[in-house]
């Protein structure tokens, strides 16, 4: 929603031997907002395990630091688990976040991962205006606003702000269990 491919990110930029590619974010982490990887990729598998583990450890779902629980920091951990060889070796921890080509560690050393810089590889959707029609009237709105309207989404910070006093607290596992019970009751009245 916030970004799109920039002028340097084209069909010719991505090589066929990459098993995954990422852009760097401003903190040099692998981006989570514009990525691609082959199905069942180890980085995504480990990232999902980290996310599930962190969700189950949540003490209060109404107070979530999404960046660390399900966002870019979780991806950073999954990325590091699959690439780094510790402090030494082919891919020491201090090197894996640099742009360039990286290899996954054993048992996947033939999988190549490209990490691009974000400068010129992304386009920020900020104030660019596009036409939007509703009830026969066309108006100009920002790309970001149009995406939000058409996908019925909002930025997670806005949702947290708007639901701060409405969100029921408690453990994530308890909410999952309650939602499963509601779903079961709905299917079997």
Residue 168 has pLDDT above 70, yes or no: yes
pTM score > 0.85 for this model?
A: no
Find out whether 19 and 42 touch, Cβ atoms under 8 Å. Answer: no
How far apart CA 113 and CA 98 sit, in angstroms, is 12
Residues 44-68 have a mean pLDDT of: 87
- Residue-wise pLDDT for 8-44, tens only, equals 888 888 888 999 999 898 888 998 888 899 999 999 9
Residue 167 has pLDDT above 70, yes or no: no
Instruction: Return the percentage of the chain with pLDDT > 90, whole number.
Output: 30
Residues 3-12 have a mean pLDDT of: 80
Q: What is the pLDDT of residue 40?
A: 93
Residue 136 or 89, more confident? 136
What does the mean pLDDT of the chain come to? 85
Confidence of residue 1 (pLDDT cuts 50, 70, 90): low
Q: Show the beta-strand stretches assigned E in 6-163.
A: 18-23, 36-37, 100-103, 112-116, 122-124, 129-134, 137-142
């Amino acid at each position: 929603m916030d970004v799109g491919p920039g002028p340097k990110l084209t069909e010719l930029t991505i090589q066929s031997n990459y098993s995954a590619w990422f852009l760097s974010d401003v903190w040099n982490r692998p981006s989570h907002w514009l990525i691609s990887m082959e199905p069942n990729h180890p980085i995504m598998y480990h990232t999902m395990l980290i996310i599930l583990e962190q969700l189950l450890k949540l003490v209060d779902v109404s107070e979530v630091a999404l960046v660390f629980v399900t966002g870019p920091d979780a991806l950073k951990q999954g990325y590091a688990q699959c690439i780094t060889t510790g402090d030494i070796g082919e891919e020491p921890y201090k090197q894996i976040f640099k742009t360039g080509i990286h290899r996954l560690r054993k048992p996947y050393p033939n999988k190549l991962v490209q990490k691009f810089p974000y400068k010129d590889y992304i386009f920020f959707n900020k104030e660019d205006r596009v036409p939007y029609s509703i009830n026969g009237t066309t108006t100009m709105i920002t790309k970001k606003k149009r995406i939000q309207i058409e996908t019925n989404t909002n930025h997670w910070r806005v949702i947290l702000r708007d639901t701060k006093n409405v969100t029921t607290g408690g453990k994530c596992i308890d909410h999952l269990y309650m939602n499963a019970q509601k779903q079961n009751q709905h299917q079997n009245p």
